[in-house]
Amino acid sequence: MSKTQTRYSEVFMNGIWKQNPIFKQVLGTCPTLAVTVSVINGFAMGVATAFVLLFSSMIISLIKKLIPNQVRIAAYIVVIATFVTIVDIVMKAQFPDLSKALGPFIPLIIVNCIILGRAEAFASKNTVGRSILDALGMGAGFTLALLVIGGIREVLGSSKFLGTVILPATVEPMLIFILPAGAFLTLGILFGTANHFEEKKKAKEIQRAIDNQMGAKNVNVTAAETTETAEKEKEA
């Protein structure tokens, strides 16, 4: 019982950090770079992608045994395209402003490699429950990454957060951050930061392993030293 639980949570957490679609797998960078001029755009894009990912992963893992191997990619794309079209239509009807801001990037979710990638690498090989968890994790990871990038770009580029001005007028907004170049800069710096922490963590683990080994020896050394000094004192 406890074993399956940890494994399920691991499936979910993988998408958030260990295999984060943006920072670790570097998938779907086109919408990432293009739409993250503001927090709300990034959030809407993330949620739209997560929705498509969730439903297509679920359906694909349900029908995986019915699809002949030769046409599986075509079948996956049709399933994905259906959900993307639904999202596009619903957004146009319910959130016309957001739909306008995201423009052609909603229909382009169809070719977002995160979705086909998860369908091919995970949903077509795992049970429905695990596929749903994986899709939720990946979707959440993608949304989080877009929120962070959108937040940085909106604050630095237009001195706003969620549309309200937060920096004083004396701080000149750095326009480059809402231009395409700023997207590359932000993403690059975030990649670097993520890798830095990962490496630090790895280095720490290695250090700990070495310490454990050395620690065992050290105890012996100190023990030997104390006996030595004790003997010397006796002699004196």
d(C-alpha 16, C-alpha 39), whole Å? 18
| Part in contact with another protein (CB under 8 A); list of ranges 14-22, 24-32, 78-86, 196-204 | 78-86
d(C-alpha 113, C-alpha 46), whole Å? 14
The answer to whether residue 159 forms part of the interface with another protein (CB under 8 A) is no
| Part in contact with another protein (CB under 8 A); list of ranges 45-53, 73-81, 115-123, 196-204 | 73-81
- In total, the chain counts a number of residues equal to 236
| Part in contact with another protein (CB under 8 A); list of ranges 2-10, 72-80, 188-196, 227-235 | 72-80
The answer to whether residue 164 forms part of the interface with another protein (CB under 8 A) is no
- Show the tokens assigned to 191: 């990649």
Side-chain half-sphere CA neighbours of 221 within 13 A: 6
Shorter beta-carbon distance to another protein: residue 27 or 58: 58
The answer to whether residue 81 forms part of the interface with another protein (CB under 8 A) is yes
Shorter beta-carbon distance to another protein: residue 148 or 160: 160
CA 216 from centroid of its chain's CA atoms: 39
- Phi and psi, residue 160, nearest 5°: -120, 160
The answer to whether residue 73 forms part of the interface with another protein (CB under 8 A) is no
Binding to another protein, residues 169-228 (CB under 8 A): 173, 175, 178-179
Cβ–Cβ contacts within 10 Å for residue 32, how many? 26
**Closest to 141 (Cα-Cα) out of 118, 108, 111:** 118
**162: alpha, beta or left, given left = phi > 0 and alpha = psi -120 to 50?**
left
| Part in contact with another protein (CB under 8 A); list of ranges 76-84, 121-129, 144-152, 185-193 | 76-84
Shorter beta-carbon distance to another protein: residue 4 or 94: 94
User: 3-class SS at 4?
Assistant: helix
The answer to whether residue 68 forms part of the interface with another protein (CB under 8 A) is yes
- Show the tokens assigned to 219: 């105890």
- Phi and psi, residue 165, nearest 5°: -70, 125
In whole angstroms, the minimum distance from the beta carbon of 194 to another protein comes to 26
The answer to whether residue 96 forms part of the interface with another protein (CB under 8 A) is yes
Residues at the contact surface with another protein, assessed by CB under 8 A: 37, 63, 66-68, 70-71, 74-75, 78-79, 81-82, 85-86, 89-90, 92-94, 96, 100, 103, 157-158, 173, 175, 178-179
